[in-house]
Amino acid sequence: MKAVILAGGLGSRLAEETVIKPKPMVEVGGKPMLWHIMNIYAAHGINEFIIALGYKSEYIKEYFLNFYALNNDLSIDLRTGKTTIHEGSHPRWTVHLVDTGLNTQTGGRLGRLRHWLEGDETFLFTYGDGVANINISELIAFHNSHGKLATVTTVRTPARFGRIGFEGDQIMDFFEKPQEGEGWINGGFFVLNTRALSYIDGDETVWERDAVDQLTRDGQLMGYRHYGFWSCMDTLKEKQMLDDMWNSGNAQWKIWE
């Protein structure tokens, strides 16, 4: 099964960091946020990734082109220029880096990946700025159990993020920016059937507002409740919190060895 990760937005609320790098490459504990997210999936056997690129795409391409060297010990003979990369721990990942446009909206980026996904395929999909100690295997099993086109992972967090209304496990209301109250909100970590891509009209489609709203009205969106740790990285304050957790050995999203 493939995992799609959005990594093309501007990340304007992290401008101090994102002026030189895309948001998913902002580091937590010395590693890009994207690396943390991929490890969450890999902990449950997901090793093929499609990364939707946009803003400063070259930064992400260069990172993965040099991934093996950056994450292992090196010996360099300065007389000859010969470089030896010493064996170490490295993931068995296949990573597809796909340019999806500089100003494309979230749904549009996903829509541009149609030809990277096969027929009537189930795949995973999330944003490049959120981590959780989510059980991906249980999430997939939940999705397979209900037969709908889409599953969204829902988490509890303050009202500024949005609110989701349930009837059983089915999503009845999906308010991305509500006015008041607290409750279940969009935590990313979707599971989708490729038929859900038919809800995307083009580059201007906002996944969370346009496509998800129509999936909800058609009764095709179910919610997987995640009761454990979840955090996004929208602000420097949140980045610092995640850094502190990692550096103190209390990174609750680190479910891998």
Domain residue spans of the chain: 2-247
Q: What DSSP assignment string belongs to 92-118?
A: --EEEEEE--SS--HHHHHHTTGGGS-
- What pLDDT is stored for residue 51 in this prediction? 98
Q: Is the pTM of this model over 0.85?
A: yes
Whether 52 contacts 4, CB under 8 Å: yes
Predicted local confidence at residue 133, as pLDDT? 97
Q: Write out the chain's pLDDT in tens, 257 residues.
A: 999 999 988 766 676 677 788 999 999 999 999 999 999 999 999 999 999 999 999 999 999 999 988 888 899 999 998 988 887 777 899 999 999 999 999 999 999 999 999 888 999 999 999 999 999 999 999 999 999 999 999 998 754 455 566 777 887 777 665 444 457 889 999 999 999 999 999 999 999 999 999 999 999 999 999 999 999 998 899 999 999 999 999 999 999 98
Instruction: Please report the pLDDT score of residue 155 as a whole number.
Output: 93
DSSP 247: H
CATH 3.90.550.10 holds for 2-247: yes
Give pLDDT, residue 121: 92
Which two tokens mark 18? Answer: 């994102």
Cα 87 to Cα 145: distance, rounded to the nearest angstrom:
42
Cα 6 from Cα 8, distance rounded (Å): 6
Q: What is the pLDDT of residue 180?
A: 47
pLDDT of residue 181: 45
